[in-house]
Copies of this chain bind each other. A is one copy, B any other.
Amino acid sequence: MTAYKDRSKEELLQLKEELEAKYKEFQGMGLKLDMSRGKPSAAQLDLSMGMMDVLDSFTDLKCEAGIDCRNYGVMDGVPEAKRLLGELIEVPAEHIIIYGNSSLNVMFDTVSHAYTHGVLGMTPWCKLDKVKFLCPVPGYDRHFSITEYFGIEMINVPMTPDGPDMDMVEKLVSEDEAIKGIWCVPKYSNPQGYTYSDETVRRFANLKPAAKDFRIFWDNAYNVHHLYSEPQDVILELLSECEKAGNPDMVYKFSSTSKISFPGSGVAAVSASTANLDDLRKHLKVQTIGHDKLNQLRHVRYFKNIHGIEKQMEKHAEIMRPKFEAVLEILDRELGGLEIGEWTKPYGGYFISFDSMEGCAKAIVAKAKEAGVVMTGAGATYPYGKDPHDSNIRIAPSFPPIEELIQATELFVLCVKLVSVDKLLESM
């Protein structure tokens, strides 16, 4: 394959004509496909249907502490749920608080708490002139929405296959007291599928932030979300690394069962040092009498322990793997050697990160939409929706059935080619 950039104007014009004909065909098909969000497919949800049977009207609804889970109370979560989520998050149960159905909500509340009341008795962020967060980019749009909502200035930090640029992270947090946090999806990152290296995790644990209330927001959303039994990424456990480094309070870890059981009806948790958890409890005890303990019980009785979760994740992988492979096969086949895009090949998580030629992403996503395929909005992977290179596109293969996914990807690569040809012709 000759790279597009090495082709003559005539060749590109001829190619454009062919591509446009193909695009018209797609337009004629009246497609209505969605590759925009990291939603599990119906087949994946079917894997957890057994969970609907574990509690019935004959079930003993007391948790192991003897407490009636139907009633009010138990703000921290029932002991067996703390243990299960502790295994998932890889920390002891005493470092866990169980929340409701959404880890996003836990992250929001944690930032909100810091904003209105401060962290561990320090100045509430709403009373400061300036609060900043570091945002490894490309990253997760809903993280950025939270910090944007609270008027927190976001600073882009480039991602590498080993994690964020740690030279930059270390320098910034040590110099600027206004920097209060960093958003991380450390394993099978959203959208690249990168996993932070051991060195990166250790450098995180050993940060020397200027702000005493600097916190790492460690969203371990994809800890057990492998695509293969081999290879699988592994990651150092940050909470214990922080303890070793003498920084026990520097991290909040977040996780949930959303992409293990049911996305709308999972169980979320936060894990942190005792001091941080006690701080969060002060907020929590005003906010609620307790989260849904029956759903906690439902999860524990269904999965039993981390092995139950791992077995479930193997079944998820069987559904997800062919989808990732189909997308990657098309990208390789259609775009390999053309030098008009690069993409990641993750071993887990929910996304493939695609980088087009500079200045093309918005046009590609628009073109796909015109022909009936919705992608995540270009720019969404950057704070304020502003990708400075206009090149990153998040591909979410999980939700559509595989035949639709293949169609959508074929259209996507066609749009990449078309927009790239136009871009090259423009500069000739």
Contact partner of A71 among B40, B50, B61, B73, CB < 8 A?
B40
Interface size on A, residues (CB 8 A): 56
Chain B residue numbers with a CB within 8 Å of A2 are none
Q: How distant is A257 from chain B, measured CB to nearest CB, in Å?
A: 12
- The answer on a CB contact under 8 Å between B149 and A286 is yes
> In whole angstroms, what is the CA distance A265 to B108 when docked?
22
A116 interface neighbour in B45, B126, B293, Cβ under 8 Å: B126
- Asked whether, in the complex, the Cβ of B69 is within 8 Å of the Cβ of A264, the reply is yes
A45 to B68 alpha-carbon distance, docked (Å): 10
A32 within 8 Å of B by Cβ? no
Judge whether A102 is part of the interface by a CB distance below 8 angstroms. Answer: yes
Q: Is A14 an interface residue (CB 8 A)?
A: no
| A104 contact from B40, B45, B283, B288, Cβ within 8 A | B288
Are A294 and B59 in contact (CB-based, < 8 A)? no
Say yes or no for A55: interface residue by CB 8 A criterion: yes
Q: How many copies does the complex hold?
A: 2
* B45 & A70 in contact (Cβ 8 Å cutoff): yes
A225 at the interface (CB under 8 A from B): no
Partner of A56, one of B52, B73, B115: B52
**A154 CB to nearest chain B CB (Å):** 14
Asked whether any CB of chain B lies closer than 8 Å to the CB of A417, the reply is: no
Residues of B within 8 A of A109 (CB): 287
List B contacts of A74 (CB < 8 A).
264
Complex Cα–Cα for A266 and B161 (A): 44
Complex Cα gap A37–B289 (Å): 11
Which 7 residue pairs are nearest across A and B when measured between Cβ atoms? A49-B57, A70-B262, A265-B294, A72-B263, A108-B287, A45-B70, A149-B286
> A residues within 8 Å of B by Cβ?
37, 39-40, 42, 45, 48-50, 52-53, 55-57, 59, 61, 68-74, 100-102, 104-105, 108-109, 112, 115-117, 124, 126, 142, 145-146, 149-150, 258, 262-265, 283, 286-295
